[in-house]
Amino acid sequence: MNQNQEQKPIGLRDKILHVLLFFRDRFDLHEGKEDELETIDYVKKNIEFRGANLWILIFAIFVASVGLNVNSTAVIIGAMLISPLMGPIMGIGMAAGINDFELLKRSLKNLGIAVLISILTSTIYFSFTPLIDAQSELLARTEPSIWDVLIALFGGLAGIVAGSRKEKSNAIPGVAIATALMPPLCTAGYGLATGNLYYFFGAFYLFFINSVFISLSTYLIVRFMKFPKKEFLDRDREKTVKRYITIFTLLTVVPSIYLAYNIVTRTFWEKNAKQFITMEMDFPRAQIIASTYLYDADSSSIEISMVGQRIDDEEIARLQNKLKAYSLTKTYLKIKQSGDGTPDLNLLRSDVLKDLYERNELLIQNKDQKISFLENELSQYTESSKQVLDLANEAKINHSSLVSFSLNRAIIADVLENKQDTILMAYAKFRQRPSAQERKRFEDWLKIRTKADTVSLIIQ
């Protein structure tokens, strides 16, 4: 009995070990891995921007700029597939991982050339295009979020893992699409072409974030898979290179962590601010027409523009105190209301009122036209009704066999031409059917008497 009890823990450990070995085998990155030196050469070949590679980049930038200009997602994706921008960015991470300072300098140099050419190309395009309005695809690249950080990090991990395989998959083009390196550079060019520095710095900041985290993920995988480091015959030279690589890595990693933290903090702050407005600022006789979120680590602000019934100072103070309940510390609530003399709000209010006036004026005009048309139709109908008896008596004088007479306007639908028209229809009943000559004389008299171009006469 005691012997069986001693064997149970051993069996449990074996099961746990078996499960661990199963998962290690499943997630082993070394299986199917290309020779490390071949992977390093593969990365190095995609670093250089010269000749055809440089022209491909320029053409891809033009394609991406057109896609952003016409707001076409498909065109933008196509441009990202063409783009060779991933090469030098992965080269930076690879160089830091294997202590290759020469590769690091070459990667930074080519990345700088690629960025300069890309921004210059997109600036030239947006300087001459007749479409100058910023579309939604372009505006989406003006401000990074936490999702951009995560996409760049995991996309970079997928890229270097795929690049280290013997059989290259379609992961690299997928990473180029997911991390979206080209659109931010094109947006930066748009900012320069239009003189909008906010767009320029916002888009360039997004590109910088993507580049840093792709390089960081490449560095982590290279270190994890223990790629062979560059060997030096001179020990002093090796120490100097390692020191430079370490400094560069710290200068990359530490700011990236800080930037990621700020982006995460701002994302949560904006989420809480929008929730605060939805939950707390629902007034039956006032309406929010604009809201702006300005985040700063020390002093943030929420600016609200409202029209309608004014909110008193006591209510504003209550809302200000409510901010803490939504984790909006160090946040100031600024409410612009109609009638408070704020130029921007008054201008906005003026635009809203002008728009409402123009719409109502158009509706009034349409209603007036409809009323005029109906009155005209009613007048014609009334006039026709009054004429019937007079016309019948006149016709009786010239046509003694006339028994009954009717006159009315009718709508005729032309099925072949798919249109309708109004025609004057007359009905006349005789004791004896009139001759063709008498019928013609009756119809001509009716046209002259009613002043109608055409009359549809039915004889019985």
pLDDT of residue 124: 92
HSE of 265, CA atoms in CB hemisphere, 13 A: 15
β-strands 286-294, 300-308 pairing: antiparallel
Contact (Cβ atoms closer than 8 angstroms) between residue 192 and residue 200: yes
**Residue-level pLDDT at 1:** 47
What pLDDT shows up at residue 366?
64
Which of 176, 200, 185 lies closest to 68 in space, CA to CA? 185
**Through-space distance between the first and last CA atoms of the chain, rounded to whole angstroms:** 121
Q: Residues 141, 144, 146, 149: is their CA dihedral positive or negative?
A: positive
Please state whether the predicted TM-score (pTM) of the whole model is above 0.85.
no
> What would the DSSP string read from start to end of 211-248?
HHHHHHHHHHHHHHTTPPPPP-SSHHHHHHHHHHHHHH
Domain 382-459 CATH superfamily: ANL, C-terminal domain (3.30.300.30)
Q: Tens digits of per-residue pLDDT, 102-136?
A: 888 888 898 899 899 999 999 999 888 887 777 77
Give CA–CA dist 409/424, Å, rounded.
5
The secondary structure element, H or E, covering residue 367 is: helix 343-398
What pLDDT is stored for residue 120 in this prediction? 93
Q: Please, what are the averages of pLDDT over each run of 10 residues along the chain (460 residues)? A: 50 75 73 73 81 86 87 81 81 83 86 90 89 73 72 79 69 66 86 86 83 83 80 70 74 72 82 86 78 81 80 84 84 76 52 59 64 66 66 74 76 70 77 78 78 75
Return the structure tokens found at 198. Answer: 């906010």
pLDDT at 116: 92
**Which pLDDT score is estimated for 450?**
74
The residue behind tokens 């560069």 is: 248
Spans of all domains in the chain: 30-230, 382-459
